Copies of this chain bind each other. A is one copy, B any other.
Amino acid sequence: MTDQVIINEVGLRDGLQNQPVHVSTDDKARMAEGLVAAGVKYLEPVSFVHPKAVPQMADAVELTPRLPKGDDLHYTALVPNLKGYERARDNGYPTVGLVLSTTDTFNQRNLNMSLADAVASCKAIIAAAKRDGVQTRTYISGAFACPYDGPTPVDVTHTLTRDMLAAGSDEIAIADTIGAGNPQQMKDIMAPLIGEYGATPFFVHLHDTRGLAAAMAWAAADLGVRKFDASVGGLGGCPFAPGATGNVATEDLVYMLEACGLKTGISVEGLRAVVALASEATQRPVGGRILAWIKSQEERGRDICIS
């Protein structure tokens, strides 16, 4: 197992898409620069969805040329359908994220399609991307639980994953979209898949809604998963639900994985500057748990508390 970890920063996309305060293209470009300065190499800054559905993503075309450039930087755009895929490709994205939810209800709400139609749509996008030389990462959304239908049977997640890999998806992101999973479920989902395909194709996408994102990330890392989505400051989640936090905070994931001896290449101090930008841009306090601890240490100076 390698000790190198890939962290795909989704704060600009998943983190901002639900924010009630409009975030300007300028602020997004500044955040992207800060993330890259902190060592982030993988970013998902936009989705090509209808601007009426997700107004915060309406500036995808304007933002794209303003993102930091570099041969070592890897950008993904999220696409809901074939039309979105074509826009992502035409705007130069080398990787696209596809969304496939685990239930009919969730696909209807997310994509206005049945599960069967969503599967067919993903296969069509994967086929088109193969022709165009674009990489595909398929998100199995609600892999742990559906917000409408409750816990997802592990067989459903496995079947959709295998189906998408067979269709040629380069990567699969196993997504706990609503933060309702647990580490045992992570093990039940990932262990057989890793046994079958190795760890390389798999991303894990976590939300910290119920406080279990770190435990689930560890369960995945312990099985060999080395690719994670995360969102600077823990941006994301539903802004209208106090306590329903967002994606796992990039700084928390980086702190834990580095403490465990893995290498992310990302600096927590560097992320802290982006958290300050994000708090300003979204007009609400954000920030992972490790930043609260660092702040408390700074406030206390050298005094040490034994308990």
List, in ascending order, chain B residues with CB within 8 A of A290's CB: 210-211
Q: Does A1 contact B (CB under 8 A)?
A: no
| Interchain CA distance A208-B224 in the complex, whole Å | 25
Copies in the complex: 2
Which residue of B has the minimal Cβ distance to A110?
Answer: B306
Distance (whole angstroms) from the CB of A155 to the closest CB of chain B:
17
**Is there contact, CB below 8 Å, between B306 and A212?**
no
B14 touches A307 (CB 8 A): yes
Residues of B within 8 Å of A243, CB to CB, are 292-293, 295-296
What string of 1s and 0s marks CB contacts (under 8 Å) between A48-84 and chain B?
Answer: 0000000000000000000000000000000000000
> Is A35 in contact with chain B by the CB < 8 A criterion?
no
On whether A307 and B260 interact (CB within 8 A), knowing A222-B219, A240-B300, A243-B296, the answer reads no
A255 interface hit (Cβ, 8 Å): yes
Closest to A211 in B: B289
B306, A106: Cβ atoms closer than 8 Å:
yes
Bound Cα distance from A236 to B306, whole angstroms: 11
Contacts of A303 in B (CB 8 A): 240
Interface contact B241-A300, CB-CB below 8 Å:
yes
For A222, A289, A297, A307, the residue with the greatest tally of chain B CB atoms inside 10 Å of its CB is A307
